[in-house]
Amino acid sequence: MILNELCFGVRLFRDITYEDSYPSISKFISNAFSTSIIEKKQFVFNNFYPVESDKIYKKNKIYWITLRSIDPNIKDILLNVYSDDFEVVNHNIKKLHTQRINRLYTITPVVITLKDGRFWTTKSLLSMV
């Protein structure tokens, strides 16, 4: 599968708090998709980068937003949209080739207690079947 990663630099028109940053970016992306003909909105995005230590993103400073999508036309959709909070000043797009996931491993332990108070084990699984 080919994943398109769009990184775009934005210049803020006002100071934006950390709490308001995701709604601001979401509004920008929603406005972009409202004018497109794409029905499925399959993408993920991150917050402004770099992160400010005081959790207030500064006016006139440039931050980066990364958006990933399987849609190859994502750049055309996002770069022609206006926002009240920021303007897009720079962008680049990369194609990422991903591999199929065959197995998932976890290092997080799980403890299951059965109704009779015993702990679940692989041996108790056989007795349940």
Cα separation, 87 vs 59, in Å, equals: 11
**pLDDT above 90 (res 83):** no
| Position 117, amino acid | G
β strands within the chain, DSSP E: 2-12, 16-17, 43-45, 56-57, 62-69, 86-97
Segment among 88-92, 99-103, 120-124 with least mean pLDDT: 120-124
Q: Tokens 């909105």 map to which residue?
A: 41
Percent of the chain exceeding pLDDT 90 equals 37
> For the segment 29-61, what is each residue's pLDDT rounded down to a tens digit?
888 877 666 666 688 899 999 999 999 999 999
Terminal C-alpha separation, the chain? 38
Cα separation, 11 vs 57, in Å, equals: 10
For the chain, domains (ranges, CATH) are: 2-97 (3.30.70.1890)
> For the segment 94-104, what is each residue's pLDDT rounded down to a tens digit?
998 888 878 87
Give the pLDDT mean for 66-73: 86
pLDDT of residue 10: 94
Model pTM?
Answer: 0.71
Cα separation, 4 vs 72, in Å, equals: 6
| Residue 61 · residue 6 · CB < 8 Å | no
- At 129, the pLDDT band (50, 70, 90 cuts) reads very low
DSSP secondary structure letters along 55-77: SEEPTT-EEEEEEEES-TTHHHH
